[in-house]
Homo-oligomer: A and B are copies of this chain.
């Protein structure tokens, strides 16, 4: 058995059986080894950002990591932005980066570069696996490291000779540390704060954004009056009819400050104390109101659901949660606007959908339009590195082949990793992509105002404008084998969505919407 075979067999034994890959010459023995381990599914991406984003989306839904396969330093660079998002999502990823054979590195061949510090910038764990007999054990360690609460990117750098040499050994899975619940004193002291009657907010994140955590949070809020909030960009948020609808902390610092106004105690559970996404001249970065105290019920590495349930037990033993009623928006009519498209989506969202949400500025109306829709998951842009939405939708669809995936995607963001559409076509994934095509980097027009920069000049305007020429996403997607259409009215969008949801396989709708600004 060569090293590559020991690696793949070990991954399969630990439950990692999907590998998103964009290989090169130094990874050819890994590719060849796939045929000796048929339990491993190799999924080709045409660009590494598609690969790493798919691994992120897969794990957010599957609850276990996928492997990646990247080619040397440049391949890692191409995948770095979506690894950054995975890092911020606390997503477990087993990130395999091929390298030149060990004896070849000193020759500084054209593709030689310093991989380790680049890997270090996104990885919670990294190891160079340069002895064939250890490759299996290193793979088992990588899987365990990736799963360590709250989850992280574990990078295994695999020299070509460690891959092709004989002497590989399959390793047994390593036990994963389970996250510990916070001690009873922590819970009691926070229960005391909630009983004090002082204005308080409870900001939840991470695994608390799924049903058990949401139920406990809603009960706590109903019993104590604490203002419950979900972190701004949860990795996976369960929503819809029958679940508590807990407001999200807003992206815009000005709005977040209003949501937290008057709070004396901010309790964080499964997330961190909130900070402004960007700095703005003369504005604070810390969003905690002046004079308020921050209390940690559970940090992201702890068992936040157990902590919330213990807290609910103390302060809300007899209190029920508030659940969203089933309620669909009426289908709007007429030309698409920056907001009404969300009502069309809300009216037609299939049961059990997974929404990959990179709608950005076009997405303001989405939460209200889907609050009473059938139960669904929302995967958000956790790290702010745009180009996440299409790859994450791709990976989520691999993880949940029986669930419809809906990717709500801003035009500017779509162009970073557009080739992931091809993987959707090749794998016949049930993904409906709606491009919110407003012909602008609208978020930057907004941010330019917020940072106090002057956008009135033609040079600045040009750099935020995506028209001239307009992007026709329907044509682009057809070129990659994804059936596509364009919608300019609510009626067209509704008809095209119905068709996309009814037919198997991927579809793309290029929804032409006016910009906010």
Contacts and interface: CB of A to CB of B under 8 A. Distances in A.
Contacts of A385: 74, 111
Interface of A: 21, 23-26, 28-29, 31-32, 34-36, 38, 40, 42, 44, 46-47, 49, 73-75, 77-81, 84, 88, 100-101, 103-104, 107-111, 113-115, 117-118, 120-122, 160-161, 164, 233, 272, 275-279, 281, 285-286, 382-385, 387, 412, 415-416, 418-419, 422, 425-426, 443-444, 447-448, 450-460, 462-466, 468-481
Contacts of A118: 77, 80, 117-118, 121
Contacts of A109: 275-278, 285
A476 B468 contact: no
Nearest to A383: B110
Contacts of A114: 120-121
7 contacts: A24-B444, A31-B463, A34-B459, A77-B81, A111-B383, A113-B121, A418-B418
Contacts of A40: 459
A353 to B, nearest CB: 25
A231 B232 CA distance: 53
Contact of A455 (B32, B44, B272, B281): B32
Contacts of A286: 107
Given A81-B78, A109-B275, A481-B469, A32 B448 contact: yes
Given A285-B103, A451-B160, A479-B472, A463 B74 contact: no
Given A42-B462, A111-B383, A474-B479, 10 more contacts: A25-B447, A31-B460, A74-B81, A74-B385, A77-B81, A109-B278, A110-B277, A469-B481, A471-B479, A475-B476
Contacts of A275: 107-109
For the complex of A and B, the 8 pairs showing the least CB-CB separation, nearest first, are A35-B457, A469-B481, A77-B80, A475-B479, A476-B479, A74-B385, A104-B279, A101-B279
A42 B459 contact: yes
Nearest to A107: B275
A400 to B, nearest CB: 22
B415 A46 contact: yes
B111 A47 contact: no
A325 to B, nearest CB: 33
A26 B426 contact: no
A418 B476 CA distance: 10
Contacts of A480: 469, 471-472, 476
Nearest to A381: B110
A448 B31 contact: yes
Nearest to A165: B281
B32 A460 contact: yes
Contact of A28 (B111, B272, B453, B462): B453
Contact of A463 (B34, B161, B464): B34
A105 B297 CA distance: 25
Contacts of A451: 25, 28-29, 160, 164
A25 B419 contact: no
Given A21-B463, A46-B416, A451-B28, A164 B34 contact: no
A278 B32 contact: no
A472 B475 CA distance: 10
Given A35-B459, A80-B118, A444 B107 contact: no
Contacts of A419: 415-416, 418
B160 A276 contact: no
Contacts of A44: 462-463, 465
Contacts of A28: 444, 447-448, 451, 453
